[in-house]
């Protein structure tokens, strides 16, 4: 009897050994969540700009020729941020730039006229882009949208501590929106370094007579999510509305940090 039980016990042990893996294979398998179809980029940046041109109300237009060091000396505040979202070939970019300048001084002459100047500018941009070409090393986008330009200019002149009776104060507050169309591209030199460029034109008499913008930069990827970009931007606007003129070119070094997620 014992001789028959031993083979039976061995058979049962082998059966359990075979059935064990089969039972574990039937356990539910947890799959990683699919990647998001959206890609995002956030870029705080600084535009170290020089200013050249003329602006102001009629009969009080000021000619400006200031390098970055001159602008920096009178800079009270500046902030800039760009946000991008993309899904497949379509996406949009929102950009905001704000600067506030203030200066004071005394004009030469016997009257010793004191001048106080406050200047504020806001540039807001919203464009939609379409990726017409893409490869592992590069891409090309076409974009179209609007750029809003807001200018606030206040000037006060005082002689011997007294407000002048004529021409003592002048101010101008102007805002306008230009349609723009453009192209941008990026080329990866290797896993770390890349080149980027963009350019657009706009206005077309809708608001500005004409406006154009060019930008080129070189970038370095610290990680897949963080990169540094250094470049140069030139932005020119020719706007004239009644008694207000804004014919200004702004150009200078561009520094930005990209966060991708």
Residue 178 lies inside a defined structural domain of this protein: yes
pLDDT tens across 97-152, in order?
Answer: 999 987 665 555 555 556 677 889 999 999 999 999 999 999 999 999 999 999 98
Report pTM.
0.79
Residue 32 lies inside a defined structural domain of this protein: no
* Percent of residues in the chain assigned helix, strand, coil, to nearest 5: 10, 65, 20
**Which range marks the domain in which residue 49 is found?**
38-260
Q: What is the pLDDT of residue 242?
A: 84
CA-CA distance, 9 to 13, in Å (whole number)? 6
Residue 21 lies inside a defined structural domain of this protein: no
pLDDT tens across 170-207, in order?
Answer: 677 899 999 999 999 999 999 999 999 999 999 999 99
CA-CA distance, 177 to 80, in Å (whole number)? 19
Residue 13 lies inside a defined structural domain of this protein: no
What CATH number is attached to the domain comprising 214?
A: 2.40.128.90
For the chain, how many structural domains are there in total?
1
Q: Does position 229 have pLDDT exceeding 90, yes or no?
A: yes
**CA-based torsion, 30, 35, 37, 42: positive or negative:** positive
Q: What is the pLDDT of residue 165?
A: 45
């Amino acid at each position: 009897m014992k001789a028959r039980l031993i083979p039976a016990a061995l058979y049962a042990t082998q059966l359990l050994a075979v059935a064990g893996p089969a039972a574990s294979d039937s356990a539910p398998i947890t799959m990683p969540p699919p990647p998001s179809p959206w890609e995002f980029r956030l870029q705080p940046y600084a535009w170290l700009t020089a200013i050249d041109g003329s602006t102001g109300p009629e009969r009080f237009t000021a000619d400006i020729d200031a390098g970055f060091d001159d602008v920096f000396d009178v800079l009270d505040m500046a902030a800039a941020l760009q946000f991008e979202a993309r899904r497949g070939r379509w996406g949009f970019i929102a950009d905001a730039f704000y600067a506030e300048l203030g200066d004071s001084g005394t004009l030469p002459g016997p009257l010793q006229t004191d001048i106080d100047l406050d200047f504020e500018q806001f540039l807001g941009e919203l464009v939609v882009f379409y990726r017409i070409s893409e490869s592992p090393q590069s891409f090309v986008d076409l974009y179209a949208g609007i750029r809003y330009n807001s200018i606030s200019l206040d000037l006060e002149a005082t002689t011997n501590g007294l407000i002048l009776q004529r021409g003592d104060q002048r101010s101008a507050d102007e805002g306008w929106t230009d349609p723009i169309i453009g192209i941008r591209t990026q080329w990866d030199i290797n896993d770390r370094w890349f080149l980027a460029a963009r350019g657009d034109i706009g206005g077309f008499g809708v608001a500005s007579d004409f406006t154009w913008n060019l930008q080129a930069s070189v970038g370095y990827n610290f990680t897949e999510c963080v990169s540094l970009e250094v470049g140069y931007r030139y932005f020119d606007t020719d706007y004239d509305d009644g008694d207000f003129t804004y014919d200004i070119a702004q150009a200078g070094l561009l520094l930005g940090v990209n966060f991708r997620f």
